[in-house]
Every structure is written in C-alpha cells, then in structure tokens.
Copies of this chain bind each other. A is one copy, B any other.
Amino acid sequence: MLKIGIIGVTGYTGMELVRILQSHPEVEITYASSLIDIGKRIGDALPHLEKGSDLVISAFDATDALNKAEIFFVCLPHGKSMEIVSLLKKGGSKVIDLSADFRLNDVSVYERWYGKHTQPDLVREAVYGMPELYRERIRSATLVANPGCYPTSVILGLAPLLAGGLINTQDIVIDSKSGISGAGRDPAPGFHFPELFGNFLAYSVAGRHRHISEMEQEIGKMAGTEINVTFSPHLLPVNRGILSSIYATPVKVLGDADLHSLYSEYYQGEPFVRLSAPDAPLPSLKDIRGTNGVFIGPRSDKRNGKITIISCLDNLVKGASGQAVQNMNIMMGFPEKEGLEQRALHP
C-alpha cells in the first residue's frame, strides 16, 4: 500500500482527497495535517467521512510527515504552498501540489499575478498535471502542479480547436460559472449563506482573474502564439460544479458533425473526457457531480458561424482532487481510473 500524506486535510480539496482515496485499493492515508482540528480523528473533524477515518490530524512537521508518508498532496492556498513543497521534495518525496504555485512556467508571470515566488528552481522541475496534455511527462514527474478548476474546463474545451489551428485566437470569450466550494472553506462575508442563496453574480471580469495566466499559458502553447482571452467568472449558488461557455470564431466553416468528429478523435481513449453528440442534451452539472469527468459539448451556430463550447466538470474532482489522484495513478503506475469510478450523484 502506498503511504499518502495530505497537507491541509480540512479544506475542501483535502477532504475530497480523503473521500476519493478511501476507495482506492492501492493506497492508505498515513499522514494528514491542518491548521485546525489538530489532535482530532479525521472522522470526528469531518463527520461525513466518518467511516474508517481513524487517522489523527497533526500540525504540519516536515520530518514527521516524511517519516510517515511516501507521496504528498499539498492542499494549501497559493503562496503558502511553495515552501512546504520544497521541504517535502528535499526529503525525497513526490509531491502533487493543488495550489497555483507551480502551474506557471515563467516565474515573472507568476509574480505579476500572484506575488513573490521563493522556489524558482522547483518551478522548472514541475509538470503541469493535465493528463490529456502531458501524460508522458507526468509519468516520470516528481512534482506535479495540479491544474486550476476554471483552466481545466477551458483548456480541455478549447484544445481540439486550437491544436488544429481551427479558430481565430484573438477573440476567444470565456464565460464561466462556478459552485461556491471553489472559494474554499474559510467563511467570509461574500460566501455567507444568506448573501448567496438565490443570488448570482459575476466577479473579477475584464481581465482581473488570476486563472487567466494559467489558461493563456496552456492554450498559447497549443496555438503557438500569445493569446489574450476575455474571461468572466461567476458565482453560482450551488455547491459543486463549473460550467464554462466558451465562444470562438472558426477560420473555416465547422458544423456540429465536424465538431463532434474533431473532438471525438482528439479525445479518443481519454478515460475522463465525455462528449455531447450534436443531438444529445448539452452537458449539465448534474451529469458529472461527484465524478472525475469533464463533459464537453461543442455546437456551431448556422446563422453566424460562431462556435459555442459548453464544458463542465466537478470543480472538486476533475477540477482539483480527482485530477490529483489521476496524476498520482499515472506517476505510480496504477491504472489511471483507480479510485475514480464513482457515478454522478443525481438527483
């Protein structure tokens, strides 16, 4: 059994890792740290995970952690993650980091959007953990930067078009809506239940959201050119799920059937990418709630030629902890779907 450590177990991505890994036959969680609930059993701190969760939560200590586990998932906010990742790596462990700290290849871009980076050497070593793009590099990686939730929905939604050079790269519009668990578990006025119930809002529109840097890095590489997207995130008053509606102008006419062929071919054999055929219902959050799937439906507008791509996923699974486990499976040579075969919970 592979010994797993989770740093930041009481946050939403940490607790989701516990949920997923408890069903994984090849691993055992042997270390879990947090800033809160120290000394409690996981099952007492997180009552929904009661079954079989007798591991006690520790305050983080690198030596202790390295003694107890072989591979680590670091579930900390950006800026807080880089130092701890460095300690764990120095101790010889493999690390999957769920923060933004190692996602951007260019430290100066990181510093423009996020602030000071203290581990530029590790940045060079890190592999961007999107298996659909970098499966081979992940296999041999010792530090995986697990992608952001919005970028996963966007990059996978656009990849077949960009890789084929089929759209204008200068007028991509991305309108994303995210469930509130994406904001993390710390209470704040903007996430207080009565402020969001029955509400809906956009935030950080017009080039102000940090995930833009990550999207543009990856889709820019695909396109072979610098891209400046228009990105509007919105807060959706539900718990889980991101649905991105992506708009692009094709360089030649592409009908629904063309799009379906293109996407089907591009994603052939991908275990977690699912496509909505031209006459099938569009993807919706309920179809992927609790699963590691990303569900994509590209459609063509016969009137003006524009392409609309609906791309949705569970922000805590394919958008975070599920993709992290997928990366671990690849890194450790486990079957890629191990632990990730949950069915969607609906209704």
Chain A residues in the interface with B (C-beta under 8 A): 12, 15, 18-19, 22-23, 44, 47-51, 171, 173, 175, 177, 179-181, 185-189, 191-203, 205-207, 228-230, 232, 234, 236-241, 243, 245, 247, 249, 274, 280-290, 299-304, 306-308, 310, 316, 341-347
Residue among B192, B284, B299, B343 making CB contact with A200, cutoff 8 Å: B284
Does B191 contact A282, Cβ atoms closer than 8 Å?
A: no
Q: How far does the Cβ of A290 sit from chain B's closest Cβ, in whole Å? A: 5
Does B341 contact A23, Cβ atoms closer than 8 Å?
A: yes
Interface of A is mostly: loop
Does B237 contact A12, Cβ atoms closer than 8 Å?
A: no
Does B304 contact A207, Cβ atoms closer than 8 Å?
A: yes
Complex: A167 Cα to B198 Cα, angstroms:
33
Each complex incorporates copies of this chain amounting to 4
Enumerate chain B residues within 8 angstroms of A12, measured Cβ to Cβ. 194, 347
Complex: A247 Cα to B306 Cα, angstroms:
14
Residue among B49, B185, B282 making CB contact with A202, cutoff 8 Å: B282
If the complex has contacts A193-B197, A200-B177, A347-B197, are A205 and B287 also in contact, measured as CB distance less than 8 A? no
Complex: A239 Cα to B243 Cα, angstroms:
20
Nearest first, the 7 A-B pairs at minimum CB distance are A201-B284, A194-B347, A48-B344, A187-B187, A175-B175, A206-B301, A228-B304
Enumerate chain B residues within 8 angstroms of A283, measured Cβ to Cβ. 201
Complex: A191 Cα to B304 Cα, angstroms:
30
Q: How far does the Cβ of A33 sit from chain B's closest Cβ, in whole Å? A: 19
If the complex has contacts A238-B200, A245-B205, are A185 and B180 also in contact, measured as CB distance less than 8 A? no
Complex: A301 Cα to B198 Cα, angstroms:
28
Does B282 contact A205, Cβ atoms closer than 8 Å?
A: yes
Identity of the chain B residue whose Cβ is nearest the Cβ of A22 in the assembled complex: B343
Complex: A189 Cα to B280 Cα, angstroms:
16
Does B195 contact A347, Cβ atoms closer than 8 Å?
A: yes
Does B343 contact A48, Cβ atoms closer than 8 Å?
A: yes
- Contacts beyond the supplied A187-B192, A199-B284: 14 A-B pairs with Cβ under 8 Å: A22-B343, A47-B280, A175-B175, A177-B177, A181-B194, A193-B195, A197-B238, A197-B239, A200-B284, A201-B243, A202-B245, A203-B282, A207-B302, A230-B306
Enumerate chain B residues within 8 angstroms of A199, measured Cβ to Cβ. 238, 284-286
Q: How far does the Cβ of A299 sit from chain B's closest Cβ, in whole Å? A: 4
Residue among B186, B200, B290 making CB contact with A345, cutoff 8 Å: B290
